[in-house]
Structure formats: structure tokens, C-alpha cells
Structure 1
Amino acid sequence: MQFCKISISVLAAICLLLSTGVATETVVTCNVDTVHRLSCDTGVISVQAALYGRADSETCGEGRPQSQLANTECSQEGTADVLKRRCDGKMVCEVSVNVFGAPDPCVGTFKYLQTNYTCLPAIHHVTCEHSLAYLDCDEGQVISVYGATYGRYDQTTCTYRRPASQIQNIDCSQPASGVSDSCNGKNRCVVKVDNSMFEDPCVGTYKYLEVAYICEYPSTIPMESAKSKDKKKTTIVAVECSRNQPGSSKIMFSFRLSTTLLLAATCSLMTAVVSTERVITCRNVQRLSCDSGVIGVQATLYGRADKETCSRGIRRSQLANTECSLKGTLDILKTRCNGKTECELNLKVVRTSDPCRGISKYLETNYTCLPAIHLVACQDSLALLHCDEGQVIFVYGADFGRRDQTTCNFQRPASQIKNDACTRPTGKVADSCNGKNSCTIRVSNSVFGNPCVGTYKYLEVAYICEYPGVIP
């Protein structure tokens, strides 16, 4: 059981912000034809700073001649503005590095794209074209829009029964300032989503509106105009957290949060980690998932422990042995699922041998959703893991490969993303990063091997920041 004692009872959800809303994330992408990916598991993206150029001679310098690394005062103007327009207010944002580079800020210098961003707590709303977007708040609160875009930037959103020609253009998106103009300061707001309301950024493409907003009391300072004022308007909160694990210790955090963030905080992460989930699969595919945090497999059984589970239509003789279990099942589930936000596996994977012939077997898994930082870095980028001062990294799990067709797919040909059964657990991230305050990993086949030739891959990492001596 995990618990938190908080000095201000009405803010009992603050532990969420320890994991999601406070720290600044950094993404570095080295190659011009590579996807630059920002993402938030909880909340929405807010770009703080961006650099296209070079600020030191080490970053993305592997294999480069010194002459290409010498200019460390190279930056393209307007980079942050481009990232803000494309990414602010979204949960996931992918941009090709080749969007930048014209004009070239320093000819002959090897450049990279680096973005610093935070994940702000917000309501994330997507509405398909020719529909109505409803934004509403509780009584006494008003809407404050972080950002809104109209267009299309993937082939999965708002696609039901749409011809391929209407969803193939995924480089079609523009800011929709009309949403904030219409809705800010109101308790409720209805926006018509069509080309008459917003300028058509791509004729012939079926589009959607994406909005991120918060609900706040009228006296609260909106986030957009309060970046400097919030420094003066803070509340000190003390949080004491404990994990019920062997060798665990209580951890005391003391931090400052603006009143805007305090009002926006929720308890979703804390409620996700206190209970153990149980999934039983009689045949085919088992799916584990966490809305917040990452999977931590506690116990598994492939076999049979009673006569009732998965017994429908099964002969009694096939239910008789209730002490049937296959050794090694737990290790398989931990290797494949720990540290992911969702995990699907076919029962064929665990059938390494038959522990009880003639008995009908099932797979039962007990798992929890552990609070963690979930990081995805596209191939040929740098994965940057970092913690606050005094804390160190502990990696729950890491995988290199591809397990869907939507992650790190921006402007990639179909042939490079169609293999979504290509993933390999790796211990190299833990070996390199555990116990360090910060750590940089190059995401490439030369580091992790190549689980699927010809497929464009990505690295997925789940880790926590702990004070030395309290790592699980």
C-alpha cells in the first residue's frame, strides 16, 4: 500500500505532480531525416525552449570531424516558435527535423534539434470535423485554453470509414486561435468544427480539432499570463510517501507549486498505484495496461489452480488437476511487460512446455501500475534520462524495436513501420544509467542490436528518480 500524508488536506493529489507536471523534459534529435518526438503520459506539452544548431562540441558528435563541431554558438532563430505552434497543447507531437534548417544558421557545422518542455495538467479534447466541440467546467469555474489546432497529424484519429485519400496527409495542421477567443473566461462553450469556423489548412483532408484547456476560478491567474507572477504566488507542500516493498523507506518531499497547478492537480496517479489488477485469459491474447504509471508484474500462473476458472464448455477431466503451473512464466511476463504503459502477448509465448498434459490451462497475471517517468526516443536520437539534484535513476524496464504503427512514424514510408511485432527487451539502459543523476543513451542499432532489419524503431524506457538508499 502506498500512502501520502499532505500538510494541506484539500491538495491530497499533489503526488501526481511529482511524476508528471514539475520536471522539464529534454529531447535531442541528431539526424535531419529523423523524427523529433515530444510526449506526455499525463497532461499536455508546453515547449519551454528549443535549439536547432549547436551549443557544445559533444552532443551528437559521434563520428563527426572536429571541424563540424567547432562552432558552438550556432542557432536558428524562430525554432522555439515553430515547436510551440506545432506541439503546445498536444499529448504527443512528432516533427521531422528537416522542417528546420532554412536558412542554414552555420554552414559546415553538424547541427541537432534540442527541445525542453514540460507536461502541464490539462483537459485534452479531440473533436472530428462536422461535429461540435463542447468545453465545460464545474460551477464557479471558467475555461482557460492552453492551445488548439485544426487539421490532421496522424492516420489514426477520426478515421472511421474514411477513404485513404482523406487521411493520408498528416502534415496538415494550424493553430486555431478562435477557440480561445470564443471560450476563455466562460463556464461552458460550444465550437463548431468545420472549415467555416477555421481556415482550411489542407483541402480534401478530413480534419479534427484538438484542444487543451483547464478549468480555474476567475481569481486564479491564467497559465499563459502568469509565468512570472506565479513565482510569487506559491504554496509549500510537504509529502510523505511510502511503498510496501521489502527494504523500502519513507521519502519526504518538500516543493513549491503555483496556485494554478495546485488547482489543476488530480489524484489519478495515486489511485492507479494503490491497487493490484488481475487479468485472466483463457485463450489467445492477454492485455495489461495502465492509464497512469507503468506495469509492474507481481505474480503469474500459466496452468490451473481451481476447477471454476475458464471452465465453460470444458470436460471435468480437463479441470481435475488444480496444482498445475508452468515454471518461468513470471520471468516471461516481467521481461515483456514491466515498465510499459500497455502490454499484449499471445498465450503461445508462455507455452514453453506443457506442465500438465490433458488439463485445460489459462494465464492469470496480477500487476500494479507503478508511478514512473515514461520515455520514448526515436531511432537515431538521444534518450536523456535525468533526475532532480540529489536523486538517482532507477530503470524499471526498456525495450528497443516497434510494437505499433503510430509511434515515431512521422513522414516514414509504410514499409518502415508495418512490422509492429518487433521489440526486444534490453538491460543496457539500466546498466548504463542506474545510480546516476543523469544519463544519455544513443538510440541506434549499433547500441541495441537490430531486432528487425528495415524497420524504423524506437526506444521505450520507464524509470523513477529516487534518493540513494531507497531504490526498490
Structure 2
Amino acid sequence: MWIISSVKARSNISTFDSRMVSLSIILFTLLSLSSRFVISAEKVITCDGEIQRLSCDTGVISVQSVSFGRTNENICSIGQPKDQISNTQCSLEISVIAKRCDGLKVCEINTQGLSVEDPCVGTYKYYTTNYICIPAETSVTCQGGYSSLYCENGRIQINTANYGRTDKHTCSEGLPSDQIQNTSCYSPNALSPVSQRCNGMRSCEVFATHTVFTDPCEGTYKYLAISYNCLPQAVRSKVICEYRNSTLKCEEGTRLQIHNANYGRTESSICPLTNPKVPQQTDCYTSNSKDIVAERCDGKNDCFISASNAVFTDPCYGTLKYLHITYSCVAD
């Protein structure tokens, strides 16, 4: 497995800090390997008020964590008064960048006023975004059309979906300028209907219209953007939200074989909070999750499992977690 790690910094970073950034990217990549194949791991630092740009040469964006604040005196310090860069104990986790960028190949965001909360008034801050590029199929369908998803081998697993507009170029031909200017248009409920219609299917169609999705920006011409994977038929996936229980069960004559498991949070859209403004950590892993699940389930026809801190410990206090398991049913 080949991993490409890189750092993109839109600020003045000292040599020492660059080394620390490189080290954190390596550690971050190693953690990510436990749950999925990673094409590349990136870190972007953007001064407050500037444009943050995330991009994947191959695959699509999956934001792992975003912090807003200041933890280093040298980053984004040119031209700033001493009293505005001396506080290096300032950090706030935010989720808005993940919501806007996950599943896209390129994502540009104006950070001016992006965070509604100021973690340290009077300090000049910056955004630090960790993201990975993951392999995925993509589909873009203009408003009023049908999105057709297909897996030649395996079954569809939806990663991300948005009905709205995030750039001025997609589905823009022949349209008046005022219908493509709003590029911060995100449907609050796009993932659920697409997942319900397509997950586990070999092919599916989704109508890109406000009769299926909430209209997030009246007067703007929209499109449906989806990213998905084709999972091998033999591999199954189970998500159990924190505080809940579930049973893994195989057909008669077969037994469970656990491939991977993680209790934590790596995606913002899975098991969403009732209050989305509460920041959630998305680089949250329990290193021995697979061992715990395998000990309880491997070789059995069925097993009962709870997604709780009592079983797995708490890898990220204050974050709503979930247990994600991949497994197969193998013959006796």
C-alpha cells in the first residue's frame, strides 16, 4: 500500500513547525489506515479571512479534523501586533468545512466569518484542516435530471451527497449570472434519501429535484453531487450509534469473520447530532476496536455488540461516537 503525505501551508511557518506538521501528518496517516485505503493525507493552514483550498488529484476529499485558533506564535504572524499572536492556547474544533467539502475533488472556502464562535477574542487566528483523499466514484446531475449510479462488481455504498451549488461552473451553461452566484448552497437532508435509495444496490436512480430534497437556496440553479464506493458483495458493513446495541448475524452454515472495526468518529454525517452546532471530532479512533469485536464475534453465527464507552473506553470525550464494523460470512 503506497501512501503519499504532503503539507500545504498558506502561511509563514518556521522550520521547526514544518517538521512538527510533517510528523503529525505521518501519525495521522497511520491512524487513517485502520479504517480505509488512503490515497493521500494533506494538511492545509489558512489565515483567518483568506481562501482555503482543498484538492485531490485522485479520489475525493474526506475532512478528518478542522481547528480554528492559534497554537503557534509563528504561523500567520507577518504584520500582526505582538499582543495578537502571543496567545498559543487557543483552539476550537469546527465541522462546517467537512460539511462543505466532503466528497468533492476541489473545494474552496472563504474563511471570513466562517466560524460563528470566537475561541479567543483579540487573537489573530488561523484554520488548520486535516483531510485525506479516498478512492470513490462520483456523479453530478443537473437540477431536474436523474442521477444513475452503477457498480459493475459489488454493491453501492454512498459516501456523501449534496443537492445545491458549490461552484459557478457546474451545470451553468446558458444560465443567467444571478442563478449561479450562490456557491454556499447545501441541502440539509441530501445524504439520507440517496443512501436509503441506493445503499446495497447494484444500480439506482435518484431524481435531482426539490420534491426529493429540501430546496436550500431558492432562485439558484442546483445540482446533485454524489460520491460512492462499490463494496464487494462478500464484505458487509454495520454502523451502530453510541448508546445503541445491535446483532451481527450470518446465514445458516456460515460464521462471522471480522475484517475491521473502529469505535469513534471519522465522518461528520454518520449518526448526526440533533444540535449540529456542537463541534465533533472526526479523527477519533479506538486502536483495539477490531480486537474487541473479533473476540466477541469471530467464528460465531451471530453476536450481540454494544457501542459504548464501557466496552471500548472513550477515545474522544464530548464527541458522539459510533461503532463501524466490516465483516464477512464465511462457510463453516
* TM value normalised by structure 1: 0.43
How is 1:22-37 mapped onto 2 (pairs within 5 angstroms)?
22-32=39-49, 34-37=50-53
The aligned counterpart of 2:301 is none
Displacement, 1:222?
4.8
Question: What's the offset of the Cα at 1:172?
Answer: 1.5
1:84-128 superposed Cα distances (whole Å, 9 cap, x missing partner)? 111111111111112424232111111001100000000011111
For 2:161, the equivalent position in structure 1 comes to: 148
Cα distance change of structure 1 residues 88 and 221 upon mapping to structure 2, 3 Å threshold:
farther
Pick the aligned partner of 2:199 from 184, 207, 211: 184
By how many angstroms is 1:59 displaced? 1.3
- 1:120 is matched with 134
Q: For residues 188 and 101 of structure 1, what CA distance do their matches in structure 2 show?
A: 39
1:171 matched residue in structure 2: 184
CA contact (8 A) 1:35 1:96 kept: yes
Q: Which residue of structure 2 aligns with residue 199 of structure 1?
A: 214
> How far did 1:21 drift?
3.2
Pick from 262, 271, 278 the counterpart of residue 228 of structure 1.
Answer: 262
Q: How far off its partner does 1:189 sit?
A: 1.1
Change (3 A) 1:228 1:154: same
- Deviation of the 1:216 alpha carbon: 0.6
* Contact residue 61 and residue 104 of structure 2 kept, 8 A: yes
Find 1:85's aligned residue among 95, 99, 120.
99
Give runs of aligned pairs for residues 50-449 of structure 1, distance below 5 A: 50-77=66-93, 79=94, 81-139=95-153, 141-175=154-188, 176-177=190-191, 178-220=193-235, 222=237, 228=262
Cα distance in 1 for partners of 2:225, 2:174 equals: 20
- Aligned ranges for residues 43-54 of structure 1 at < 5 Å? 43-54=59-70
Task: State the SS of the aligned residue for 2:186.
Answer: strand
Q: RMSD in angstroms over aligned alpha carbons? A: 2.8
CA contact (8 A) 2:136 2:229 kept: yes
Deviation at 1:195, TM superposition (A): 0.6
1:63 Cα shift? 2.7
* 1:146 alignment partner AA: N
Q: CA deviation at 1:74?
A: 1.4
Inter-partner Cα distance in structure 2 for 1:221 and 1:63: 54
Q: Over residues 17-63 of structure 1, what are the superposed CA-to-partner deviations in whole Å (9 max), with x where a residue is unaligned?
A: 5589344201111141x211111111010011111111222211223
Q: Which deviations, in whole Å up to 9, do the C-alpha atoms of 1:321-366 show, x marking residues without a partner?
A: xxxxxxxxxxxxxxxxxxxxxxxxxxxxxxxxxxxxxxxxxxxxxx
**How many residues were matched structurally?**
218
How far the C-alpha of 1:181 sits from its partner, in A, is 2.3
**1:227-281 Cα distance to aligned partner (Å, 9 max, x none):** 6279788xxxxxxxxxxxxxxxxxxxxxxxxxx9xxxxxxxxxxxxxxxxxxxxx
TM-superposed CA distance for 1:223, in Å, is 10
Aligned-residue identity in percent: 43
Q: Flag the 1:83–1:207 CA change in 2: closer, same or farther, 3 A.
A: same
Query: d(CA) in 2 for partners of 1:222 and 1:50?
Result: 27
- The 1-side partners of 2:58 and 2:73 are apart by 34
The one-letter amino acid paired with 1:145 is I
List per-residue Cα deviations over 1:127-154 (Å, max 9, x = no partner). 1110000111124x11111111111111
Aligned partner of 1:143: which letter? I
> What SS does the corresponding residue of 2:187 show, helix, strand or coil?
strand
Aligned equivalents of 2:120, 2:46: Cα separation in 1: 17
> Secondary structure, in 3 states, of the residue corresponding to 1:191?
strand
Give the gaps of 5 or more residues in structure 1. 1-13, 234-259, 261-472
Question: Unaligned 5+ residue runs, structure 2?
Answer: 6-36, 241-259, 264-284, 291-325, 327-332
- Closer, same or farther in 2 for the Cα pair 1:54/1:219, shift >3 Å? farther
